[in-house]
Structure 1
């Protein structure tokens, strides 16, 4: 007996639709598995040599501000995964808490980045972090563009600088040894040597190359955010002299995220007339002291930002000592804030300078809150109102201003 099965068109359509629906579900499932949130970037890193349990943080880099972590993670089995909330292109630095960056990269939302590197702890007794080698970064189109535009220039300059130092490493070592021994005769002989003159010529050529290379970098990218970003990540500090480059940027570049950051650096809003932030200082014995307790009852006070390595800062100290002795009995106080990263160097400088007024170490972003762009930076403050009378004032100008203020108070 033959059995004929007749499939109606409705039944056929139902089977067809069911098949299409199943395929669509499967496709959506596959796409979801590979989809990346456009509001975040994922970094998967293999950090050979970084101990398990090391806490790592990702922060915005090259902003010249004290940034809060965007993401945190712990190294496990030599691996680290960070999910960073970011949409537009941002330069990210990753490293241990309160330490130097282990690696940095440009990325944006929707990217899944793979990083691998070899690391060795920095053993200088001061710096928290790692020396790295064999750094490889993939999966980020933004970082590839960064390497093409900026990384290649920095790599070229780094190699040029290293070649000079490698070529003259014996001379450099001899100069360092003579300096430590305070052997002035040896130092002069080395300074007058033909090799030292050759090295000086090469160094001048290097700095000329830095200036021209960076100038071209800024000019080539003047119409996009890459221009302001390039300045932020290649310069350590800014002055009004940088206005020339700033003025060359397009309005699009100026109004970008990095353009606005750069404008804050080149054209900072002054603090004169503003109430200055309060803070706590880490003293030499490790204890903390508040600025409020230091200046309580004072007519005027100075907030002095300095560092052990800053020559102009230390040249200003004798002037501050003279003014302090002259006016401390009349209501003047000085609070010195060191921005030293090397605590040992700071303590050594304190022992040498013998400051007789309150002083301490900035470990809480005090300089950032005062918008300090360079040092020495001295703020003159009204002790009654807490408002800034003058900023970046020193030398004879400071002496004249204090004489004027205290003569008025004496009337």
Structure 2
């Protein structure tokens, strides 16, 4: 009898502690092709750490695109499906369904109204709305405009809540996200206007910033989607603003600090001054990785990481940061080596146009890569170079890289050539070349959008000034085979 009672006791405990599964199912109704996968970026201990903690979900053995997890509290996640980024508040014990067609992506199932609202709203990004505030000289003008933008979003959210179309927990999460979005926008406008020489009164600006941070503090339990960006604005960028007005440096000197790799050391001191350790750890981790992924390879990031690892030896974030720091270490190891003989150079100081460069190519076919060391998409394409080199060799093409970097970045240009193993011919374009290229070969008006790729035949003719990227190797093959 006692065994039956023991069994019953265990069964009751198991039943009470069993967790229901939270799931996301993608239904693909695309006419052009069915989706094979989607990606999810989830928080790491309540924050999105750049694009880390990203999972790719493939069709299961039943042909269904489905993600399942057990969570004890809500998470704000990002879903990348069919090249579209979506937001979703993932709540415990909820099942979400996203139907994807050629023209729409619509949530159904539990809390679908709130999920669709979260993705329908057009958040004001500082780069896209700044002109609205450019000529404002009085703080109250900025506050009034931001309140107006916020009210448009809040009005719809409150209607959904009042009509019981979303549950109370979701409403609180979305309201927090709205509040912090516009609090951050207010601070961003103040800081950007000051930096570009269109400031409002400093004392009034400081008063507004202090009031905003007090009303919407960084130390909160349920963090909004862009908490890390907000924290950097609230703490680091705000401190830059104060230091400029206290005469510690100018914005021009601040830019110079970045160019000389001194800014990270300065910012690290600001981060270390944060008294609340949880905020310090999260912002420190985000600051390191958000700089590291830009691929400027600042040596000071190695020191910043070592200090972080020493201060937080058991941090959950270390496993995500370390691979990026290892890349930087590898960078310095490689650039200290001799320039490989597989890299050839053409002096571009007296070459003022592409037509002047072509005769130096000796009547051979070339795939041209126009790039710069500061161009992230350019560097991203370099990872496809092995396949590109193989394809070009197959069709007797050579490769030339034309950098539009300024002359004072010559050493950095050469370092990047070594680090990325850019086998081929290289030239650093002079201002005359850049001007001529902008006028006669660029794909955009009054400027150059890079990376840009061209194909030149063995007679010196430009076959294409809009050739496929290395990442689109199959499309490039179709052109080269002709």
The TM tier, using the shorter chain, reads 0.3 to 0.5
Normalised by the size of structure 1, how large is the TM-score? 0.33
More helix by share: 2
Normalised by the size of structure 2, how large is the TM-score? 0.28
Largest Rg, 1 or 2 = 1
